[in-house]
């Protein structure tokens, strides 16, 4: 990921992200940690930026360290609204984490249930009925 795009996403600067999109930024390119713009926005709970990225048809199911997707990062960081956005957009619910204890073999729903996040668990269960 280009430094300018990463900085714009990290700063939640919608206008700067739009500028980078206009300049042809590759939104699914990973940063040095293997995370895409969507993953960073989901982790931060940035609903506006997540919406913008979904509207620009980013890949919802890229995984990075420990096999975590944007949906899983939103679960881990307790961002229910972002979880809802990603589920509504069709994010895969069956991706499982890898490697690290606490993530290995677990889906977003498993992570939510282990953390006692009943609202997020309900969102994912509802989405699994639609997918």
Residue 102 pLDDT class (50, 70, 90 cuts) = confident
Per DSSP, 101 falls in state T
pLDDT, residue 65, reads 85
What are 74-83's pLDDT values in tens digits?
999 999 999 9
pLDDT, residue 37, reads 97
**Total structural domains within the chain:** 1
Task: Give the containing element (helix H, strand E) for 109.
Answer: helix 108-114
pLDDT, residue 104, reads 92
pLDDT, residue 100, reads 79
Q: Is pLDDT of 20 > 80?
A: yes
Which domain, by its residues, includes 35? 3-130
pLDDT, residue 117, reads 97
Task: Count CB neighbours of 5 within 10 A.
Answer: 23
- CATH number for the domain harbouring residue 94: 1.25.40.20
């Amino acid at each position: 990921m280009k430094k300018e795009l990463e900085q714009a996403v990290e700063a939640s600067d919608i206008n700067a992200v739009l500028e980078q999109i206009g300049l042809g930024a590759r939104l699914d390119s990973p940063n040095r940690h293997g995370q895409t713009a969507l993953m960073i926005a989901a982790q931060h709970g940035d609903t506006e930026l997540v919406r913008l990225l979904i509207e620009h048809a980013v890949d919802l199911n890229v995984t990075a360290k420990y096999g975590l997707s944007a949906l899983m990062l939103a679960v881990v960081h307790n961002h229910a609204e972002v979880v809802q956005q990603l589920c509504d957009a069709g994010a895969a619910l069956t991706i499982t984490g890898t490697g690290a204890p606490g993530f290995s073999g677990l889906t977003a729903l498993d992570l939510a249930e282990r953390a006692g996040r009943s609202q997020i668990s309900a969102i994912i269960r509802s989405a699994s009925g639609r997918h």
